[in-house]
Amino acid sequence: MATDNDTLAREFVEAFNSKDAGKVGEFLHPDVVFQNYGDPEVKGRDAVVSLWRGVFRNFSQVQFEVVHQAVNGDVVLAEQVHGLALPGGRLAPIMNLAVYEIRDGKIAAWRDYTNPQQAAKLLRS
């Protein structure tokens, strides 16, 4: 596991490419709070892992990458591309801004900001 917050956040994003929710969960604090813009808040590592298990089942491809990242102590801001493809569809490059708050070497708060209308449009094309 990473020893600094920059590396931790980058390795976390890379873990999504495995489509293994358990691997993603290894980076999360047990009391993590996940807020995806426009959706209800999800509390606790088990609940977040369960959510992502479902997400991974819905997509044939997942390719996440960091474009830019800034770290200030225990806060990480990361501009990302969430590459997602529905079964039979092409990979949609969905822009995202993630905010991570780190506690005890794990992500304790995670907020994703994506334009849901643009994401839906890209997934349909």
DSSP E strand boundaries for the chain: 28-36, 42-43, 61-72, 75-85, 92-103, 106-113
End-to-end CA distance of the chain: 37
- What dotted CATH number matches 5-124? 3.10.450.50
Residue-wise pLDDT for 9-56, tens only, equals 999 999 999 999 999 999 999 999 999 998 999 999 999 999 999 999
Please give the pLDDT value at position 1. Answer: 57
Report yes or no: 6 and 14 within 8 Å, Cβ to Cβ. no
Instruction: Please report which confidence band the pLDDT of residue 125 belongs to, taking 50, 70 and 90 as the band edges.
Output: confident
H helix or E strand, kind and range, residue 11: helix 5-15
Instruction: Tell me what the pLDDT averaged over the chain comes to.
Output: 96
Residue-wise pLDDT for 83-93, tens only, equals 999 999 999 99
Domain spans in the chain, listed from the N-terminal domain onward: 5-124
Give the whole-angstrom CA distance, residue 65 versus residue 30: 24
